[in-house]
Structure 1
Amino acid sequence: MPYVSRSAGGAIDGLYEQLQGGVAEEFLPDDDPELGTFRDTSPEVFSVSARQFRLMLRRTGLLDQVKAWVAQQDGETQDAFEYSGTFVKNSPMMTAGFKAMGFTAQQIDEFFTAASQL
Structure 2
Amino acid sequence: MNLEPVSEGHPDVIAYRKLPMPINSVSARQFKLQLLSRGLLDNVDDWVATQSRDVRIGHEYSGTFVKYSPMMAAGFAAMGFTDKQIVAFFIAASKKFD
Report the structure, 1 or 2, having the larger strand content.
1
Which structure exhibits the higher relative contact order, with contacts defined as CA atoms closer than 8 Å and separated by 6 or more residues? 2
Write the letter of the residue equivalent to 1:61. G
1:1-118 matches, cutoff 5 A: 36-37=10-11, 38-39=14-15, 40-118=18-96
Shift in Å, 1:42: 1.7
Q: Deviations over 1:63-98 (max 9, x none)?
A: 001001000000110010001000000100000000
Measured on the aligned residues, the alpha-carbon RMSD in Å equals 1.9
Deviations 1:35-80 (A, max 9, x none): 8213332211010000000000000000001001000000110010
Unaligned runs of 5+ in 1: 1-28
**Which structure 2 residue ranges, 5 or more long, are not aligned?**
none
Q: Which residue of 2 aligns with 1:25?
A: none
Aligned residues between the structures = 88
Provide TM-score, normalisation by structure 2. 0.82
Q: Percent of aligned positions with the same letter in both sequences?
A: 52
More helix by share: 2
